[in-house]
A and B are shown apart, each in its own frame.
Chain A
Amino acid sequence: MNIFHEIYSTYFRIASEILKLPNITEKDINKIIETYGFRNSMLFLPQKFLLQNDGSDWGLLKRSSDGKLVKVIKNKPIEILTEIQKRWLKSKLDNPKIKLFIENDTLVSLKKRLEDVTPFYSSEHFRYTDQFSDGDDFSDELYQENFRKILKAVKSHEILEITFFSGNGKKISGKYIPLKIQYSAKNDRFRLFCFSLKDGELFHSGVINIGRVEQVRNTSEHYEKNISTDDYFRKRKCKEPVTVCISDERNATERFFMEFAPYEKNTLSNSDDGKCIVKIWYDYQEETELLIRLLSFGPVIEILEPPEFRRQAKERITRQYDLLNKNRRQ
């Protein structure tokens, strides 16, 4: 039992899609390969479905007397939930977040259905070493109710009226178009990515912590114009990337590239002395988080640009230097 198995492979998926078609043409085959295949699959796959004189095709299709392509199997292929998939589902049923998605009655009957299945893993097998201790309370009924209303609206693109508390405790109410729900494992929190509305038009791209939501009200209204999630992310991206220089002391290059793997970045140069110059793009509202993460590397990372970002780093370091020296003198 292994997830790296051909039954989960792209080529099997393509074959299944082709065999589900009521009538099959070469054009359909090519279209399916283009849609679901890897970039080079067109070079390798079409000939596997079409009858070859040397018998190198897969024998899944044949030509009828009138020259049409027909499948040799009699029924549409069906997809079975495999043992590993059931075991994985069973593990997830013990995750406290499952109640955000599934009502109690359904959960009970699903657990009953999978009662003979051995979980794939248990939460006991993992430890998140630096997860924050003030994550959302997923067992809270109001939280679950709010989460479900928001999730439903993300799917239906319904406008919601949301009342919530901002980071500094200010109560805010307004109309929002929900786009996506973000989860951070480090914060153990869900947040809603949305656009706020003003006079019926898009106003701001915003983020609302679901744990700080007091009330969600459905409006049954929908925003008629097309909204692109890509636009949302573009609007939140920094105007200018941060450029840093990483020295190779203390294995800093490796540590940096691992830690900053989730960020979009570009390595400009890596010289023979082991120094790397890297540009990092980030969500402008998370500038402080990026700054403190870079500072935690100490002197093995120097922030070069933009000047304002470098100034903030310098200000914190100078304040730190002064605090330590003042204390030493005392």
Chain B
Amino acid sequence: MSGFSELIKNYDKTRDYIRDFFIYGFKVRNDFDRKSLRTYDDEKRRIESWFGEYVKYDRSERGQKVSITVDSGSISENPLYQAYRSKSFTDNDIKLHFFIIDVLHNGENLTLKEIVEYIDTNYNEIFDVQTIRNKLKEYVKEGIIITEKKGKTAYFRLSTDGVNEFLYNYEGLSDAVKFFSETQEFGIVGNSVLESARLKNDLFVMKHNYIVHTLEDIIIPEIISAIEQKKYIALISFKVNKANNMGYIVPMKIFSSLQTGRRYIVGYIPVINCFHSFRLDFIRTVRTGDICEEYDRIYEKFSQDLNYCFGVSFGSGKIETTVITFCIDEKYEKFIVDRLKREKRNGVLEKIGDNLFHLTVKAFDSYAVMQWVKSFTGRIISITGDNKQAIKRFYSDINKMYNMYGGREK
């Protein structure tokens, strides 16, 4: 028991463990070889404490498997948000939080000296001035406290932007927050708004909901800030020996695949002069570098290249053409034609005869096209194109699958 805490100081290590428990439901204690088994036990215990009902145990020949299991299409709140609510703090942090808000509760503008004196007199606690000064400075940064200077003296007051005042004065806002709190772009922030207002999302559920993405929300603000400032970034990987050896990259956009469940930061790598996608879940931290003087020129090239990016890969920068011929019964299977239209991205769809369609895709990565094309299994007449290897693999895969399912056996 001693030494164990439900709270954590750093999110990085825990993030990696949660991901493993959630994504892979089959790992046993000995599979976690990052650090000591004691570390595993502590992380596991914290995860059990945070995620309670979603933690599942199964026995296997190799030992007990622990997993976080969620049907994310039927939940109203992402359970992984709990991990964000576990930041450790000192006794002074929690005392000063409630004391300072209490001192400034009635809208007073007070100096540091007045706040220190009030706390000393009223709460039977003595803090040194520097501790309170630092806390005030921190809360100014967090937007809880507003500071104004009159002459040389700084005055502090509580922000008047109360959570409840916002949510109840602007009709419909609380419903919007309920919705956005479960969407991809920093839903955790919306969830914190709901928590502050003691509200829960009781209206919406999400389909194709990759709840694990929230674990990456911790590093994205740094990336976005670098994009805004047109700066280089260095990506520090979880695996020490697999640390990013590309040096600094120029960040362009966050790519999110709603099919594969992966998110990436796409950036330009100066040393090899190409764009590349880096998995966000493999990145532990991001370090911001200097301003990239050529940012606008690189971004313009990136915007042009986007037209040929079928998934997330920029390949070697060479555009490959693939032509797929589909056989679709137009009378009874119009929904397949509709599916092609809505999923083809930059592809050009042409009707070439009765129930026959050509789709021409120009892309950097023909393998990404092939993976998608396989979802039309049963309707493809032929595939031709520049990347012979990718096409050969498609034909070979169909043969393998045919044999796997017993060919013509009954």
Contact between A180 and B204, CB atoms less than 8 A apart: yes
For the complex, what is the distance from the CA of A5 to the CA of B89, rounded to whole Å? 9
Q: Which of B98, B189, B217, B395 contacts A85 (CB 8 A)?
A: B189
The listed residue with most A CB atoms (<10 A of its CB), out of B24, B26, B255, B399, is B26
User: A79-B164, A267-B67 are known contacts. Are A258 and B25 too (CB-CB below 8 A)?
Assistant: no
Q: Which of B166, B188, B258, B381 contacts A131 (CB 8 A)?
A: B258
A279-330 interface with B by 8 A CB criterion: 281, 283, 292-293, 295-299, 302, 310, 313-321, 323-324, 327
For the complex, what is the distance from the CA of A165 to the CA of B380, rounded to whole Å? 30
Chain A: CB-nearest residue to B158: A80
Please, how many residues of chain B have a CB less than 8 angstroms from a CB on the other chain?
Answer: 142
Contact between A130 and B380, CB atoms less than 8 A apart: no
For the complex, what is the distance from the CA of A323 to the CA of B324, rounded to whole Å? 13
Contact between A126 and B254, CB atoms less than 8 A apart: yes
Please name 20 further chain A to chain B contacts, defined as beta carbons within 8 Å, in addition to the given A3-B186, A151-B175, sorted by A numbering: A3-B189, A5-B142, A12-B89, A16-B98, A38-B49, A78-B158, A79-B164, A85-B189, A88-B189, A102-B172, A126-B185, A127-B256, A129-B312, A186-B258, A262-B72, A267-B25, A313-B405, A319-B379, A324-B382, A327-B382
Interface residue? B58 (CB, 8 A): yes
Chain A: CB-nearest residue to B327: A323
User: A39-B52, A80-B162 are known contacts. Are A185 and B70 too (CB-CB below 8 A)?
Assistant: no
For the complex, what is the distance from the CA of A233 to the CA of B74, rounded to whole Å? 7
User: A6-B93, A129-B256, A134-B342 are known contacts. Are A317 and B105 too (CB-CB below 8 A)?
Assistant: no
B residues less than 8 Å from A299 (CB atoms): 397, 400-401, 404
13 sample A-B contacts, Cβ–Cβ < 8 Å, listed by A number: A3-B186, A59-B91, A59-B124, A85-B192, A88-B186, A101-B176, A106-B171, A126-B254, A128-B256, A155-B203, A180-B203, A184-B207, A264-B70
A residues less than 8 Å from B193 (CB atoms): 81, 85, 88-89
Contact between B60 and A292, CB atoms less than 8 A apart: no
CB distance from B347 to the nearest CB of A (A): 11
For the complex, what is the distance from the CA of A109 to the CA of B173, rounded to whole Å? 12
Q: Which of A100, A109, A180, A255 contacts B205 (CB 8 A)?
A: A180
- Interface residues as binary, B92-122 with A (CB distance below 8 Å gives 1, 0 otherwise): 0111011101100110000000000000001
Contact between A78 and B105, CB atoms less than 8 A apart: yes
For the complex, what is the distance from the CA of A255 to the CA of B94, rounded to whole Å? 43
- Interface residues as binary, A120-160 with B (CB distance below 8 Å gives 1, 0 otherwise): 11001111111111100000000000000001001100000
Binds B, one of A23-31, A90-98, A194-202: A90-98
- Interface residues as binary, A243-276 with B (CB distance below 8 Å gives 1, 0 otherwise): 0000000000101011111111111011000001
Chain A: CB-nearest residue to B373: A296
**Residues on B facing A (Cβ under 8 Å):** 1, 5-7, 11, 22-26, 45, 48-50, 52, 56, 58, 60, 65, 67, 69-74, 76, 82, 84-89, 91, 93-95, 97-99, 101-102, 105-106, 122-125, 141-144, 158-159, 161-164, 166, 170-173, 175-177, 179-180, 183-186, 188-190, 192-193, 195-197, 203-212, 217-218, 220-221, 224, 227, 253-262, 306, 309, 311-312, 325, 327, 335, 338, 341-343, 345, 371-372, 374-382, 395, 397-402, 404-408
User: A9-B89, A58-B95 are known contacts. Are A40 and B6 too (CB-CB below 8 A)?
Assistant: yes
For the complex, what is the distance from the CA of A263 to the CA of B23, rounded to whole Å? 11
Chain A: CB-nearest residue to B70: A264
Q: Which of A7, A73, A134, A187 contacts B123 (CB 8 A)?
A: A73
B residues less than 8 Å from A193 (CB atoms): 205
Interface residue? A60 (CB, 8 A): yes
A residues less than 8 Å from B124 (CB atoms): 59, 62, 72
User: A9-B87, A84-B142 are known contacts. Are A38 and B50 too (CB-CB below 8 A)?
Assistant: yes
Q: Which of A80, A258, A267, A324 contacts B260 (CB 8 A)?
A: A258
Q: Which of A56, A125, A314 contacts B224 (CB 8 A)?
A: A125
The listed residue with most A CB atoms (<10 A of its CB), out of B164, B172, B401, is B401
A residues less than 8 Å from B82 (CB atoms): 10, 38
Contact between B143 and A84, CB atoms less than 8 A apart: yes
Interface residue? A86 (CB, 8 A): yes
For the complex, what is the distance from the CA of A126 to the CA of B184, rounded to whole Å? 10
Interface residue? A66 (CB, 8 A): no
Q: Which of A154, A270, A296, A313 contacts B371 (CB 8 A)?
A: A296
A213-269 interface with B by 8 A CB criterion: 229, 233, 253, 255, 257-267, 269
For the complex, what is the distance from the CA of A130 to the CA of B258, rounded to whole Å? 6
A6-59 interface with B by 8 A CB criterion: 6-13, 15-16, 19, 38-41, 43-44, 56, 58-59
CB distance from A303 to the nearest CB of B (A): 8
Interface residue? A115 (CB, 8 A): no
User: A7-B142, A259-B259 are known contacts. Are A121 and B400 too (CB-CB below 8 A)?
Assistant: no
Contact between B259 and A130, CB atoms less than 8 A apart: yes
B residues less than 8 Å from A82 (CB atoms): 142-144
B residues less than 8 Å from A121 (CB atoms): 185-186, 220-221, 224
Q: Which of B23, B98, B258, B377 contacts A73 (CB 8 A)?
A: B98
Contact between A266 and B397, CB atoms less than 8 A apart: no
A residues less than 8 Å from B398 (CB atoms): 317, 320-321, 324
B residues less than 8 Å from A103 (CB atoms): 171-172
Contact between A13 and B195, CB atoms less than 8 A apart: yes
